[in-house]
Amino acid sequence: MLLKAGALSLALLLASRVLGLLRESALAATFGASGLADVAVLMLTLPDWLVGVLASGALGYVLLPAWVGREPQQVAASQRRVAQILLAGAVLLGLLLMLLREPAIGWLAGGLPPAARPAAGQALVWSALALPAALLAALWTTRLQHERDFLGMYSSGIVVNLVLLAAIALAALGTGGMQAVGWLGWGLLAAMLLRLAWLRWRQGPVAAPVDAAPSASLPRLGLWLWAVLSAGLPLALPFAARSLASQSGEGALATFNYAWKLVELPLVLAIQLVASLAFPAIATALAGAPVGGAPASAGVAVRSAFALAFALACACAAGLVAGAPALAQLLFGWGRMEPEALVRIAQWARTGAWSLLPQAVIAVALTVLAAQGRMRTAVFAYALALAAFLAIGAAGVRDGGALMVALNCVLAAVAAATVVALGPQVRQWLPWGVLAAALAVLLGLTLAVRLLPVPASIVPGLALAVAAACAVLGASWLAGSGLRAAARDN
């Protein structure tokens, strides 16, 4: 069941993520690890990050259950009301971002040299202008999710990345500085508006809203607040790490961003995908069951999800540990990227790869907690983790590698908290053989990489990464029935 996603939807998601990597690669080739690269990365990522923290996940958590069984007119009425609220909030947030752009630059990209700060101020203005379209796109994407139009949802990311790639190409032809920021700014606005047009077209004719219908009223404010916290806090951790890393000097923000992209791709395409696809089976098995009294079918579903997510996490981590230099060279080692920055990208990605393990555990544990309606423990755990991470930053930690280690530690604490929250039955749910085998092979490979020379050239390095990932998956397959059960169920 976990692997039976629609082939077209999965292909579109993969295409969108690969285009996103190509976008980062093009930025690295155009600007290297310079202050202008920091400005470009900040401008192009800030609108969607703000939307992700404040709206995207929360809209899905709240509106999708509220729209179940509603008439199209009722859905249209609540959608219009939410759109009005989002647009008003976007205008207010955009104005604040414009007015407070100087302190915002200090918070988000403090290592920029004085010469790059005017460009950063202009970049924040472009980001503010893009916010309304980005927030409205999040709402319309939720509507397509309600309609199960996965083609429309995943294609929108392709539209954005294609437009931004064109804008980066135009910026590369310019003289740099303000002119490059201008090209990227117009490209950002065009990408946001074209995505909005695509999503609107996919919705088809809009049903006439029925404002007077009682069933069209919005869910209570408390539910929205919990949804925002549940969806936004996990996104805040890596963004806070990137902002803290930026304080260490020019180019640090872009370098950390590129390193995290190497970690983020397997996180989204493997681990979070497993959790998302496991949700229906887990929710069905846990339906009506009291906490601590789940049926045997729930244990099978949860154990399979844990086995598959953790084995994939260890395999991806092994691939990054072994092949990070080759991957960094392949994706970012061309154009104006400096060799020293490539070394840092590879080192930081190797360290960040270990965060995949706790995030795999968290992804499945949150799926179970969400199915039982018990997300508060996860929210508190993430809030404490963010507070602890910010305290580490306040203590003066700015090095990207050290911040990656801190991320690993706080995510491990969140994983422990969410596992404990599952209750005593988690002892039967965890596939201990798979966990031990995957972790043991990963540790062995990490030790070997430290002691033996690793090829930095692309082809041998990628071959070594694939071999390391296959070794982890092979050991996990042989270690116990958990991973074999996950494959057999699909």
Statement: residue 212 has pLDDT above 60: no
Residue pair 414/366 in contact by the 8 Å Cβ criterion: no
Mean pLDDT of 83-100: 94
Mean pLDDT of 206-222: 60
Mean pLDDT of 183-204: 93
Judged by average pLDDT, the poorest of 122-126, 148-152, 344-348 is: 148-152
Statement: residue 4 has pLDDT above 70: no
Mean pLDDT of 432-440: 92
pLDDT in tens, 32-78: 989 999 999 999 999 999 998 888 778 887 887 788 778 888 888 88
Q: Is the dihedral of CA 342, 345, 351, 353 positive or negative?
A: negative
